[in-house]
C-alpha cells in the first residue's frame, strides 16, 4: 500500500498524469455447463504489466481482468470478470477514458446452449456444442460515436501471417493501433515472460526486439504517451 501511494505520488507528474486508461487483460471463460468451460492460454502477464506501467506513468487505471492467477497490481481499480459479455459490460461502465488498451484474449465464441445442469455422458452420444459469436469488445468500443476513447489499442495473437492479419484487424475493428504477436508454440509467448511484438498502425509497422513483458509494457506506454501528446498538438 505504501508502494502504491508512492507510485501515485511520483505519478502525478508522469506523461499520463490526469489521463484515464482502461486496460483489459487475461483470458475469458465461456461456460459449457456449471463445471465445464472454454478457455484460452492467456496468462494476463502482458495486460497486467501494461496496467502497472500506465500507473507508473501517472494514469488513473481501470484494469478489467478475466480469470488469472496473478495478483492485482497496486494502484489500479480492478474489475474481475469471467466471460466476454461481462468484460464488455465492465468496459462500458468504466468509460469515458482517454486510452483503451484491450490486451485480453477475449473468446470469439461462446456456447449458445450452455447447460444449467452438468451434461451427462450417455452411451455413445456426444453433446452438441452449438457456438455463437461473442460481442467484439474492441470493435464495439472503437466504433462508438459517443465516448470512444481517443486512442484505442487492440492486440492480435496470431499463429501465422502475423502482420497481414494485424493489418486486416486494424481496419476491421476501427482501432488506432494493433500490437501483434506470434503465439505459435515455437514463440512460447502465452504464459511466458517475454514477448516479440509488432506495432501496426494505418501507416506504419514497427517491429520491436524480444523483450520482457514488463519492458514491452513500459515501451508501449511510452509510445502511447507520445501518440496521445501528438494527437493533442
The cell numbers describing 152, all together, are 484505442
Total number of residues that touch a copy of itself (CB under 8 A): 37
Q: List the one residue from 129, 163, 227, 228 that touches a copy of itself (CB under 8 A).
A: 129
Residues in 87-116 that interact with a copy of itself by CB under 8 A: 105, 107-109
Neighbours of 164 (CB within 10 A): 12
Asked if 39 is part of the footprint of a copy of itself (rule: CB under 8 A), the reply reads yes
Report CA-CA distances (Å) from 91 to 61, 65, 138, 169, 227. 12, 10, 10, 20, 22
Q: x-or-dash pattern for a copy of itself, window 145-164, by CB under 8 A?
A: ------------xxxx----
Query: Are the C-beta atoms of 200 and 178 separated by less than 8 Å?
Result: yes
By CB atoms closer than 10 A (0-12, 13-18, 19+), residue 231 is: exposed
Letter string b/e over residues 67-101, b meaning 16 or more CB atoms within 10 A of that residue's CB: bbeeeebebbeebebebbbbbbbbbeebbebbbbb
Instruction: Kindly tell me which of 131 and 228 has the beta carbon lying closer to a copy of itself.
Output: 131
- Quote the longest CA-to-CA distance of the chain: 68
CB of 56 to a copy of itself, least distance (A): 27
Q: List the one residue from 13, 69, 145, 203 that touches a copy of itself (CB under 8 A).
A: 69
CA 152 – CA 103 distance, rounded (Å): 11
Instruction: Kindly tell me which of 158 and 176 has the beta carbon lying closer to a copy of itself.
Output: 158
Query: Are the C-beta atoms of 116 and 151 separated by less than 8 Å?
Result: no
Q: List the one residue from 38, 50, 90, 152 that touches a copy of itself (CB under 8 A).
A: 38
Query: Are the C-beta atoms of 52 and 21 separated by less than 8 Å?
Result: no
Stretch that binds a copy of itself, among 47-55, 143-151, 182-190, 194-202 (CB under 8 A): 182-190
Query: Are the C-beta atoms of 48 and 70 separated by less than 8 Å?
Result: yes
Q: Is 40 a catalytic residue?
A: yes
Instruction: Kindly tell me which of 151 and 190 has the beta carbon lying closer to a copy of itself.
Output: 190
Residues in 194-233 that interact with a copy of itself by CB under 8 A: none
Binding-site ranges for a copy of itself (CB under 8 A): 29, 32-42, 69, 105, 107-109, 117-118, 120-121, 124, 126-127, 129, 131-133, 157-160, 165, 183-185, 190
Residues belonging to the active site: 40
Amino acid at each position: 500500500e505504501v508502494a502504491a501511494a508512492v507510485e501515485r505520488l511520483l505519478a502525478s507528474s508522469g506523461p499520463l498524469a490526469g489521463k484515464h486508461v482502461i486496460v483489459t487483460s487475461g483470458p475469458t471463460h465461456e461456460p459449457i455447463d456449471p463445471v465445464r468451460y472454454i478457455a484460452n492460454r492467456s496468462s494476463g502477464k502482458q495486460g497486467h504489466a501494461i496496467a502497472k506501467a500506465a500507473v507508473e506513468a501517472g494514469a488513473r487505471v481501470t484494469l478489467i481482468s478475466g480469470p488469472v492467477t496473478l495478483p492485482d497490481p497496486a494502484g489500479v481499480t480492478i474489475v474481475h470478470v469471467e466471460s466476454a459479455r461481462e468484460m464488455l459490460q465492465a468496459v462500458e461502465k468504466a468509460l469515458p477514458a482517454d486510452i483503451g488498451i484491450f490486451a485480453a484474449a477475449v473468446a470469439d465464441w461462446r456456447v449458445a446452449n450452455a447447460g444449467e445442469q452438468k451434461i451427462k455422458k450417455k452411451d455413445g452420444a456426444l453433446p452438441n456444442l452449438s457456438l455463437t459469436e461473442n460481442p467484439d469488445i474492441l470493435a464495439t468500443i472503437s466504433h462508438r460515436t459517443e465516448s470512444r476513447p481517443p486512442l484505442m489499442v487492440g492486440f492480435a495473437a496470431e499463429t501465422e501471417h502475423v502482420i497481414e492479419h494485424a493489418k486486416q484487424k486494424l481496419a476491421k475493428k476501427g482501432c488506432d493501433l494493433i500490437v501483434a504477436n506470434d503465439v505459435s508454440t515455437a514463440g512460447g509467448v502465452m504464459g511466458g515472460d517475454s514477448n516479440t511484438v509488432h506495432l501496426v498502425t494505418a501507416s506504419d509497422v514497427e517491429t520491436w526486439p524480444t523483450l520482457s513483458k514488463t519492458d514491452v509494457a513500459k515501451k508501449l506506454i511510452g509510445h502511447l504517451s507520445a501518440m496521445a501528446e501528438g494527437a493533442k498538438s
